[in-house]
């Protein structure tokens, strides 16, 4: 059995708040529209609007029409799709990232050639080899890069080889 009386009571209690919320959202939409490159900000998708606009500002891009599969294009031609979720962070960095703000980011790559019947078997052989510290000398390719370069798919050309046996 449905309880429409309780729902109606809650609606009455929240009516003023919902009206204020709708007014604030309209004001936010108006402010964000100045950054939307002519794109219409549809619906009540505040978090999505912010994600697209923050992304295009962060990566020096331009928003595209909704008929495109991506949300904006960067000056270098990169196409970016934004997936934004509400979160409880205080900005672009998570608390864990703030603790290690002095650390740099690196892409570390280990390569191995194996013979196998299929890709899964090849991956399993590589995994087994990685777990065996005595298998052979460990050599990694290490490339430093920053967060913006990572988002754009660009990495600084400062790659080094690191041999763990040296």
Residue-wise pLDDT for 124-153, tens only, equals 888 888 777 677 656 677 776 655 555 555
Residue 148, domain member (yes or no): yes
Q: State whether 30 and 61 are in the same domain.
A: yes
Q: Given a cut of 80, is residue 90 above it in pLDDT?
A: no
**Same domain membership, residue 74 and residue 34:** yes
Residue 73's domain spans which residues? Answer: 4-80
Cα–Cα distance, 147 to 149 (Å, whole number): 5
- What value does the mean pLDDT take over residues 112-127? 85
DSSP class of residue 101 equals T
- The SS3 call for residue 73 is strand
The distance from CA 133 to its chain's CA centroid, rounded to whole angstroms, is 34
The answer to whether residues 18 and 61 belong to one domain is yes
Whether residue 53 sits in one domain with residue 20: yes
Q: Is 49 exposed, middle or buried (0-12, 13-18, 19+ CB in 10 A)?
A: buried
CB neighbour list of residue 74: distance below 8 Å, 6 or more residues apart: 59, 60, 61, 80, 152
Q: Give the number of domains in the chain.
A: 2
| Assigned domain for 144 exists | yes
Separation between Cα atoms, residue 145 and residue 49, nearest integer Å? 28
Using CA atoms, how far residue 55 sits from 10, 12, 72, 110, in Å, is 37, 38, 8, 31
Please indicate whether residue 143 or residue 74 has the higher confidence score (pLDDT). 74
Per-residue model confidence as pLDDT tens digits over 7-62 = 888 889 989 998 998 899 889 989 999 999 988 887 777 777 888 888 888 888 89
The reply to whether 63 and 121 lie within a common domain is: no
What pLDDT is recorded for position 5?
86
């Amino acid at each position: 059995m449905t309880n429409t009386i309780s729902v109606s009571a809650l609606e009455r209690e929240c009516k003023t708040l919902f009206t204020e919320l709708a007014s604030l959202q309209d004001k936010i939409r108006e402010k964000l529209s100045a950054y939307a490159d002519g794109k219409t900000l549809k619906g009540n998708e505040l978090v999505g609007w912010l994600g697209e606009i923050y992304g295009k500002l962060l990566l020096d891009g331009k928003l595209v029409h909704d008929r495109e599969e991506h949300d904006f294009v960067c000056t270098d031609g990169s196409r970016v799709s934004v997936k934004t979720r509400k979160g409880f962070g205080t900005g672009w960095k998570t608390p864990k990232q703030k603790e290690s703000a002095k650390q740099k980011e690196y892409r570390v790559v280990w390569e191995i050639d194996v013979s196998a019947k299929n890709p899964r078997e090849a991956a399993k052989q590589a995994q087994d080899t990685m777990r065996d510290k005595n298998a052979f000398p460990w050599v990694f390719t290490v490339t430093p890069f920053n967060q913006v370069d990572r988002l754009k798919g660009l990495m600084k050309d400062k790659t080094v080889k690191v041999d763990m046996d040296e």
